[in-house]
Amino acid sequence: MSDNANIYLVCGEDPLCPVGDWVHRQLNENPRVTVVSVDDLMRLFNGLPLSPALLVIQAGDALTQCLPKFSSWIHRWPNMQMLLFGSVSAADLEAFYSQGGRDLVPAALCNSERVSNYWQAKLDDVERQAKVGRQKMHATRKLDAMAAKLRVVEEDQSLGAGVQRMLMPEAPLNLNGLTVAHHIRPSLMLSGDFIQYSLIRTNEVLFCLADVSGHGTGSALVTVLLNEQVEALSLMAATDSNLTVGRMMAQINAALCEAVFEHHVTCLLGIIDLRNNQLRYCSAGHFPPPLLVQNGAVQALEAGELPLGLLKSKEYDAVQLALASEFKLLIMSDGVLQGLRGEALAEKEATLKAFALGDSGEVEGLLERLFKVSDEGLADDASVLSLVRKVGYDR
């Protein structure tokens, strides 16, 4: 038997039957077995620091006195096995098993050489259960620790998401019939998509949509630098009419390269001049291309410049377009493409063009209208910046 075997033989006042006598002789002679009366067992169990391995109970009055204690013993020592020996009635046997008893010592093993294997099998079973219990407890502790860490991370992520929202426009911008608004649906709590827009001069609006590569905290941190750069450029543009969109993009690129982030950024930066009905924009690898709808047609604003954060000396050229008195400009991140049905990229681009042509451009509910669902899970951040001008009123 195992060196740490801890077996208690509980005998009552009833005379031993042949099988009971055999069990008593087998265990009474074993130095690892403690023979106790029911009263002694009750007193002893109250002070036991460790779980017994086997509790071998004589049928009759010993069983009757022990039965009420079974549930508390099992609760305290779930790995302990309770065995029954001796002549037992059907009612007592049913009560024994129903209260958590494990086994009736087989009479067939009486005077058999295989009896040592029987006790060892029971002890091995106890040890296996104890090992499983220890593993479960260890796993539970690890899971609890991981859950606690996860809660801290979630709290940090939630705080970070709140900070990100504060960096971006709180409300739509309205100017002479032009409404500029945005919506970001992050795939995680933190987003790698960044949007900013503001009035820089009378009748001129600066806008930006950037998409940082990757996901999560690292990408979100890059948006903080983007916000600093765009805010600084907005202030500079307010006093320097010669500051071009291309020079602005080059400055943002230089700042990202100096920061040595392990991320690149696609970006669309532009200025809408409502006095002269002009759009000046620069695209740093942004995809899908912005869609300009005016005069009943939709135009993809193609531009093949290098993404930001890759080459510090890169210069960027701006494009200038004439705007109709009414127009709609939709700029989306590439995460939007993942939410569209279809396999081919050309099919998804065609879907976007058809949508832009027929939709109102109102940001509220735009992604739901586009995806035709309200709670679709996305693998990437999906963002849209909408610039819609209607003549005749200022919303």
Predicted local distance difference test score (pLDDT) of residue 1 = 37
pLDDT of residue 282: 95
Question: pLDDT digits over 102-137, tens only?
Answer: 888 877 766 666 666 777 788 788 778 778 777 878
DSSP tag of 109? G
Measured distance CA(43)–CA(62) in Å, rounded: 15
More confident residue, 154 or 201: 201
> Which residues are CB-neighbours of 103 under 8 A, at least 6 positions away?
81, 83, 84, 122
pLDDT of residue 378: 59
pLDDT at position 343 over 80 = no
| Structural domains for the chain | 7-136 (3.40.50.2300), 168-389 (3.60.40.10)
* Closest among 86, 90, 89, 84 to 104, alpha carbons compared: 84
CB under 8 Å to 154, separation ≥6 — which residues? 189
Would the pLDDT of 369 be above 50? yes
Q: State the pLDDT confidence band at 3, using cuts at 50, 70 and 90.
A: very low
- The answer on pLDDT for 313 being more than 60 is yes
Say whether pLDDT at 65 is over 70: yes
Task: Determine which of 10-24, 194-208, 235-249, 361-375 has the lowest per-residue pLDDT on average.
Answer: 10-24
Average predicted confidence (pLDDT) for the chain = 84
Work out the pLDDT band at 323, boundaries 50, 70, 90. Answer: very high
pLDDT at residue 223 in the model: 85
* pLDDT at residue 159, rounded to an integer: 61
Helices (H), 240-283: 245-259
Which candidate, 246, 241, 395, places its Cα nearest to that of 326?
Answer: 395
pLDDT band at 374 (very low <50, low <70, confident <90, very high): very low
Tell me the pLDDT band of 163, cut-offs 50, 70 and 90: low
pLDDT at 244 over 80: yes
Rg (CA), the chain: 39
Confidence of residue 190 (pLDDT cuts 50, 70, 90): confident
> Which residue has better confidence, 244 or 123?
244
**Across residues 332-359, what is the average pLDDT?**
87
Give the pLDDT mean for 142-168.
Answer: 68
